[in-house]
């Protein structure tokens, strides 16, 4: 994943830019970058933040930056922001999303003119550089931005830092949030609204899907109206969105309380306490405990000073080590107890299996698991919140293959929570995880918890259906 923050201020913007970008650190652990437009042009810093926090890497840099316009980004993979020199002028660019037709677009660009792309590690093309190339092929920024929206398959929200101001662009189907904030003398744009309160900003509005605005210290000018079709990622509220953030008027933490309550309403199991797998499972478990009337406790405590998020490292062995070392069990709250854990989701299940075994090793009598979303069966083609190389990495998909003995199957039965196939899949996952019971959230309950109409939410990873028409059903790849 990635997250960005931008500021247009009548006074110096650097302090707000620094802290606003830092509030996106949960969305990435590999690269951080800042770019500021001042009297002598654009100045930029990019650092590797794999082994250190964003703040510590940029603390000295910001003392040398000065200007009234700035953009910042936290990224998992590519170096950003990029500074681009073109016939449109000098500008900086940051992007969020996944360009699934990256190779085709790069091939087409190279075939049309003398264009070359620098490579990232692993031989991949930097998607931010590709987006800039498409923009540069147009007569104006506005035309280039529309061309990007037309050509990209997957998702792409981005910002351009120019001498005119900051262009903020939301993905044409609104897969990720882009939100405008304001305070006296300044305007800001963000992925996460949790960046606003402590910097004095209030939410002005969410950009609509595909909407384009130009932000200056004087205000926000719409350059392209929003489209009619919204398909924002539901997993924002389930997992990777920050609890203090609000998207489309729906707060993450509040949603997670409702989500946990929905799980409890459909449950009959008798337990001694409810708990959440830190951190993102905690909001769900609070909602569960409040609704079920059972004590809420912390049998695991997360050691936060040094251990990062476990899903980010590229190697499974490192992810497993981080997952183990960051969670410290408390025997007094485990031994002899019937425990119910809420988790945001079960992705691969490898880390969770080790966590569950540790609970039994510490004397747990029973361990029940209640994921806050339906089984993940299809890999997300729109966002990089997981770096699984194959859909068979997903616990749900592996269980289906074990049951079917082949990959070419009809998934319909496994998507129906009332079917024998669905129950067999859940049973197989529970068996592999050594759980006493396993019960997933129903999709209708999750949608009700978020509070947006179903047609405005992307549920591809659970249903395999893409209402935007970019991808064939059930993980079938890009449409021709």
**Do 33 and 128 fall into the same domain?**
yes
Mean of pLDDT values over 85-114: 90
Domain assignment present for 441: yes
pLDDT, tens digit (0-9, with 9 covering 90-100), for 368-414: 999 999 999 999 999 976 655 688 899 999 999 999 998 788 999 99
d(CA 134, CA 117): 12
Which pLDDT band holds residue 350 (cuts at 50, 70, 90)?
A: confident
**Do 72 and 136 fall into the same domain?**
yes
**Residue-level pLDDT at 84:** 96
Domain assignment present for 419: yes
**Do 218 and 274 fall into the same domain?**
no
Domain assignment present for 410: yes
d(CA 172, CA 148): 10
**Do 344 and 226 fall into the same domain?**
no
Overall domain count for the chain: 2
| Contact of 75 with 31, CB cutoff 8 Å | yes
Domain boundary among 230, 265, 290: 230
**Do 220 and 300 fall into the same domain?**
no
Domain assignment present for 107: yes
**Do 333 and 431 fall into the same domain?**
yes
d(CA 128, CA 436): 46
**Residue-level pLDDT at 310:** 46
Q: What is the CATH number of the domain that holds 94?
A: 3.60.20.10
Domain assignment present for 366: yes
d(CA 147, CA 109): 13
Global confidence as pTM: 0.93
**Do 260 and 179 fall into the same domain?**
no
Total Cβ atoms within 10 A of residue 338: 16
Does position 311 have pLDDT exceeding 50, yes or no? no
Instruction: Enumerate long-range contacts of 353-358, CB under 8 Å, 24 or more apart.
Output: 353/432, 353/433, 353/434, 354/320, 354/323, 354/324, 355/277, 355/300, 355/323, 355/324, 355/327, 356/433, 356/434, 356/435, 357/434, 358/324, 358/329
Domain assignment present for 476: no
Domain boundary among 180, 197, 230: 230
Q: What is the CATH number of the domain that holds 289?
A: 3.40.50.2020
**Do 44 and 173 fall into the same domain?**
yes
Mean of pLDDT values over 443-463: 97
**Do 220 and 271 fall into the same domain?**
no
Does position 319 have pLDDT exceeding 70, yes or no? no
Domain assignment present for 454: yes
Tokens for 180, please give them.
């405008």
- Across all residues in the chain, what is the average pLDDT? 92
**Do 329 and 406 fall into the same domain?**
yes
**Do 48 and 81 fall into the same domain?**
yes
Pick from 442, 300, 290, 441: which is nearest to 369 by CA?
441
Domain range for 412:
254-463
**Do 61 and 127 fall into the same domain?**
yes
Domain assignment present for 246: no
Q: Which residues contact 329 (CB under 8 A, 6 or more apart)?
A: 299, 300, 358, 359, 362
Mean of pLDDT values over 329-347: 97
**Residue-level pLDDT at 118:** 62
């Amino acid at each position: 994943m990635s997250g960005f923050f931008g500021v247009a201020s009548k006074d110096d913007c650097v302090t707000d830019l620094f802290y606003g970008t830092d509030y996106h650190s949960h969305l990435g652990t590999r690269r951080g970058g800042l770019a500021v437009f001042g009297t002598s042009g654009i100045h930029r810093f990019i650092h590797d933040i794999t082994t250190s926090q964003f703040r510590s890497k940029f603390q000295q840099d910001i003392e040398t930056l000065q200007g009234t316009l700035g953009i910042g980004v936290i990224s998992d993979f590519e170096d950003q922001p990029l500074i681009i020199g073109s016939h449109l002028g000098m500008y900086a660019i940051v992007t969020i999303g996944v360009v699934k037709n990256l190779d085709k677009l790069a091939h087409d660009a190279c075939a049309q003119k003398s264009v070359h792309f620098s490579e990232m590690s692993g031989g991949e093309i930097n998607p931010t550089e590709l987006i800039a190339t498409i923009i540069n092929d147009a007569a104006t920024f506005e035309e280039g931005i529309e061309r990007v929206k037309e050509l990209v398959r997957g998702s792409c929200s981005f910002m351009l830092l120019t001498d005119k101001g900051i262009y903020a662009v939301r993905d044409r189907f609104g897969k990720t949030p882009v939100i405008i904030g304001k305070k006296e003398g300044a305007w800001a744009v963000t992925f996460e609204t949790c960046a606003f309160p402590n910097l004095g900003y209030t939410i002005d509005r969410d950009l609509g899907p595909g909407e384009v605005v130009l932000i200056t210290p004087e205000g926000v000018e719409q350059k392209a109206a929003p489209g009619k079709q919204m398909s924002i990622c539901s997993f924002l509220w389930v997992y990777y969105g920050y609890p203090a953030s609000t998207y489309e008027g729906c707060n993450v933490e509040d949603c997670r309380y409702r989500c946990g309550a929905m799980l409890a309403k459909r449950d009959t199991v008798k337990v001694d306490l409810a708990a959440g797998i830190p951190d993102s499972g905690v909001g769900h478990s609070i909602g569960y405990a409040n609704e079920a009337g059972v004590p809420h406790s912390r049998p695991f405590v997360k050691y936060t000073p040094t251990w990062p998020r476990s899903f980010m490292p590229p190697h499974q062995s490192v992810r497993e080590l981080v997952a183990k070392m960051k969670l410290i069990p408390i025997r007094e709250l485990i031994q002899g107890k019937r425990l119910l854990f809420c988790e945001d989701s079960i992705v691969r299940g490898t880390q969770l299996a080790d966590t569950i075994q540790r609970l039994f090793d510490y004397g747990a009598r029973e361990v029940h698991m209640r994921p806050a979303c339906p089984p993940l069966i299809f890999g997300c083609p729109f966002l990089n919140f997981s770096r699984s190389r194959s859909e068979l990495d997903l616990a749900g998909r592996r269980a289906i293959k074990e049951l079917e003995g082949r990959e070419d199957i009809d998934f319909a039965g496994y998507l129906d929570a009332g079917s024998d196939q669905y129950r067999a899949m859940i049973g197989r996952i529970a068996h592999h995880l050594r759980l006493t019971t396993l019960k997933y959230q129903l999709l209708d309950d999750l949608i009700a918890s978020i509070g947006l109409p179903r047609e405005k939410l992307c549920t591809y990873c659970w249903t395999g259906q893409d209402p935007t028409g970019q991808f064939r059903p059930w993980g079938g790849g890009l449409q021709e």
